[in-house]
Amino acid sequence: MIELKSICFSYKDITALNNINLKIEKGESVALIGPNGCGKSTLLKLLSGIIFKSEGQYLFNGTLIDEKRMQDNIFSKTFHKNIGFLFQNPQLQLFCPTVYDEVSFGPYQMGFSKDEVQKRVFDCLNLLGIWDLRDRAPYNLSGGEMKKTALAAVLSVNPQVILLDEPMNGLDPKNKKFLRELLLRLSESGKTIICATHDFDYVKGLFYRAIVFSKEHTIIEDAPFESVVNNKALLERNNII
């Protein structure tokens, strides 16, 4: 489903990704692990089509994803419908006057009928347990409430792939457990989940595979999640623990 070939990305002269080769199949649940600044968020942004590689190729379902391809509005709309992205800082992705509007924005953009949009919003707000917040302004919510609102907005579009950047950040222990269970259910339902995380305890049993980055912005390990998080030497050597 996702294939990266020799991907490099720089923010002007700052290297963020260096020669990334990676394949992720439909339905996989994958953790991205690495020290601060190694490139995890950049990789998620690149997969979501917010930024484009400096070098290399990104293929999604066999189609090359680049700036030129994204200029095709129909293609771009379909691509973004298929890939949902929960930012590390949900504040950056909330812009509507109410929580309800925020969660309905994506389905309206996708052209669904009013009834279908209402159904999706109702389902997603209830799934995240935030129906009571529906008339609140997103910018007045707590960090955890914002995160749930942003996730409800992502899920209301029903994407095939869900990208998550440190989703456990800012959540209390009960909500971390809740999010873990929710992601597990999404994974079991066939979603492809790619998640940058430092929170190994709360994501136990969630990921089948872990991709480890070094501070040189390259992948240095791609192995079953449990074997990676139990490999203390590997994690210490790469300043992860």
Ligand X SMILES: Nc1ncnc2c1ncn2[C@@H]1O[C@H](COP(=O)(O)OP(=O)(O)OP(=O)(O)O)[C@@H](O)[C@H]1O
Which stretch, 39-47, 91-99, 111-119, 173-181, contacts ligand X (CB under 6 A)? 39-47
Nearer to ligand X, 135 or 236 (CB): 236
**By CB neighbour count within 10 A (0-12 exposed, 13-18 middle, 19+ buried), where does 199 fall?**
middle
By CB under 6 A, name the one of 20, 28, 33, 39 that touches ligand X.
Answer: 39
What is the closest distance, in whole angstroms, from the C-beta atom of residue 39 to ligand X in the complex?
4
By CB under 6 A, name the one of 33, 34, 141, 191 that touches ligand X.
Answer: 34
DSSP codes, the chain? -EEEEEEEEEETTEEEEEEEEEEE-TT-EEEEE-STTSSHHHHHHHHHTSS--SEEEEEETTEE-SHHHHTSHHHHHHHHHHEEEE-SSGGGG--SSSHHHHHHHHHHHTT--HHHHHHHHHHHHHHTT-GGGTTS-GGGS-HHHHHHHHHHHHHTT--SEEEEESTTTT--HHHHHHHHHHHHHHHHTT-EEEEE-S-TTTTTTT-SEEEEE-TTSSEEEEEEHHHHHT-HHHHHHTT--
By CB under 6 A, name the one of 26, 37, 129, 216 that touches ligand X.
Answer: 37
Q: Does 36 sit near ligand X (CB under 6 A)?
A: yes
What is the closest distance, in whole angstroms, from the C-beta atom of residue 146 to ligand X in the complex?
18
Q: How far is CA 177 from each of CA 2, 41, 91, 164, 187, rounded to the nearest angstrom? A: 28, 23, 22, 16, 15
What is the closest distance, in whole angstroms, from the C-beta atom of residue 38 to ligand X in the complex?
4
Interaction mask 57-96, ligand X, x per CB under 6 A = ----------------------------------------
Nearer to ligand X, 40 or 176 (CB): 40
Interaction mask 174-213, ligand X, x per CB under 6 A = ----------------------x-----------------
Interaction mask 13-32, ligand X, x per CB under 6 A = -x-x----------------
Which stretch, 9-17, 177-185, 187-195, 228-236, contacts ligand X (CB under 6 A)? 9-17
Binding residues for ligand X, rule: CB under 6 A, are 11, 14, 16, 34, 36-42, 196
